[in-house]
A and B are shown apart, each in its own frame.
Chain A
Amino acid sequence: MTPAALHGHLHWLQHPKHMVAFDMVAKTFKQMMPPPVTTKFFANLLAMDKFLMASEFMDLGMDLWVMEGYGAMDERWELQHRIVLPWQLSATHKRPLLVKGGDDSDVIMGTTYGLGVYNAKSKTFRVVITVKPPDALLLSRNMLRESLSARRNHVDDIGGDLVYEILIRLPAKPLLRSGAVCKAWRRITTDPAFLSDHSRRRPLEAVLYSSKINLDDPINGRRRRRKLGFHRHRPPLLPRRRYAYFDEEDEYCVPLASCDGLLLLRKNAGDYAVCNPATRRWAQLPPPTRAAARDVWCTRESVFYFHPPSGEYRLLCHCTGTRRSYPNTTASYYVLAAGGLRRRRLGVQATPINSPAVPRDMSCTKLMAPAALHGRLHWLLHPESGLAGDVVAFDTVAETFTRMAPPPVTRKASADLLATDGCLMASEFTASSSVDLWVLDGYHGGGGAMVDERWCWQLRHRVVMPWEATISVPRLVAGGDDGDVILAVDGGGLGVYNVRSETVVGVEGLPWFVHRESLG
Chain B
Amino acid sequence: MATGSGAAAAAADAEEKESGSRMITLTSNEGKAFVVTEASARQSATIRSMVDDGGCVDKGFPLPNVDSKTLARVIQYCDEHGNKEAHTVDERAALAKFDKDFIAELDADKAFLYDVTMAANYLHIQGLFALTTQCIADTIKGKTPEEIRTAFGIEYDLTAQDEEEIKEEDTHA
Interface residues of A (CB under 8 A from B): 154-156, 158-159, 162, 165-167, 169-171, 173-174, 176-183, 185-186, 219, 244-245, 279-282
B156 touches A280 (CB 8 A): no
Q: How far is the CA of A158 from the CA of B117 in the complex (A)?
A: 11
Residues of A within 8 A of B169 (CB): 176, 179, 279-281
Q: How far is the CA of A371 from the CA of B140 in the complex (A)?
A: 39
B137 touches A158 (CB 8 A): no
Q: How far is the CA of A174 from the CA of B134 in the complex (A)?
A: 13
Contact indicator per residue, chain B 141-153, by CB within 8 Å of chain A (1) or not (0) = 1111100110000
Residues of B within 8 A of A167 (CB): 137, 140
Q: How far is the CA of A162 from the CA of B132 in the complex (A)?
A: 11
A179 touches B45 (CB 8 A): no
Q: Which residue of chain B is the closest to A165 with respect to CB atoms?
A: B133
Q: How far is the CA of A183 from the CA of B172 in the complex (A)?
A: 21
Q: Which residue of chain B is the closest to A170 with respect to CB atoms?
A: B137
Residues 104-148 of B contacting A (Cβ, < 8 Å): 117-118, 121, 124, 126, 129-130, 133-134, 136-137, 140-145, 148
Contacts A167-B137, A244-B172; A177 near B158 (Cβ below 8 A): no
Q: How far is the CA of A176 from the CA of B134 in the complex (A)?
A: 17
B1 proximal to A (CB < 8 A):
no
Residues of A within 8 A of B121 (CB): 158-159, 162, 165
Say how far B44's CB is from chain A's closest CB, in angstroms: 11
Q: How far is the CA of A428 from the CA of B159 in the complex (A)?
A: 56
B141 touches A171 (CB 8 A): yes
A169 touches B162 (CB 8 A): no
- Cβ 8 A contact of A165, one of B129, B144, B154: B129
Residues of B within 8 A of A171 (CB): 141
- Cβ 8 A contact of B133, one of A162, A178, A281: A162
Of the A-B pairs whose beta carbons lie under 8 Å apart in the complex, a sample of 29, sorted by A's number, is: A154-B126, A156-B126, A158-B121, A158-B124, A158-B129, A159-B124, A162-B117, A162-B118, A162-B133, A165-B121, A166-B137, A166-B140, A169-B134, A170-B140, A170-B141, A174-B141, A174-B142, A176-B173, A177-B143, A180-B166, A181-B145, A182-B149, A182-B155, A182-B157, A183-B157, A183-B162, A244-B172, A280-B169, A282-B172
Residues of A within 8 A of B140 (CB): 166-167, 170, 174, 178
A178 touches B162 (CB 8 A): no
Q: How far is the CA of A375 from the CA of B165 in the complex (A)?
A: 33
Residues of A within 8 A of B157 (CB): 182-183
Say how far B81's CB is from chain A's closest CB, in angstroms: 14
**Can you list the 6 inter-chain pairs with the closest CB atoms, starting with the nearest?**
A169-B137, A180-B145, A174-B141, A180-B166, A181-B145, A183-B157
B171 proximal to A (CB < 8 A):
yes
Say how far A200's CB is from chain B's closest CB, in angstroms: 16
Residues 58-91 of B contacting A (Cβ, < 8 Å): none
B173 touches A280 (CB 8 A): yes
Say how far A489's CB is from chain B's closest CB, in angstroms: 36
Residues of A within 8 A of B148 (CB): 177-178, 181
Q: How far is the CA of A279 from the CA of B168 in the complex (A)?
A: 12
Q: How far is the CA of A156 from the CA of B125 in the complex (A)?
A: 8
Residues of B within 8 A of A186 (CB): 158, 162
Say how far B78's CB is from chain A's closest CB, in angstroms: 15
Q: Which residue of chain A is the closest to B132 with respect to CB atoms?
A: A166
Residues 16-56 of B contacting A (Cβ, < 8 Å): 45
Q: How far is the CA of A182 from the CA of B140 in the complex (A)?
A: 14
Residues of A within 8 A of B155 (CB): 182
Q: How far is the CA of A56 from the CA of B133 in the complex (A)?
A: 44
Q: Which residue of chain A is the closest to B134 with respect to CB atoms?
A: A169
Q: How far is the CA of A183 from the CA of B140 in the complex (A)?
A: 17
Q: How far is the CA of A54 from the CA of B137 in the complex (A)?
A: 40
Say how far B67's CB is from chain A's closest CB, in angstroms: 17
B154 touches A182 (CB 8 A): yes
Q: Which residue of chain B is the closest to A160 with respect to CB atoms?
A: B121
Given contacts A167-B137, A244-B172, 7 further A-B contacts (CB under 8 A): A158-B121, A170-B140, A179-B169, A182-B155, A183-B159, A186-B162, A245-B172
Q: How far is the CA of A279 from the CA of B172 in the complex (A)?
A: 10
Q: How far is the CA of A35 from the CA of B169 in the complex (A)?
A: 51
Residues of A within 8 A of B126 (CB): 154-156, 158
Residues of B within 8 A of A182 (CB): 149, 154-158
- Cβ 8 A contact of B158, one of A156, A178, A180, A245: A180
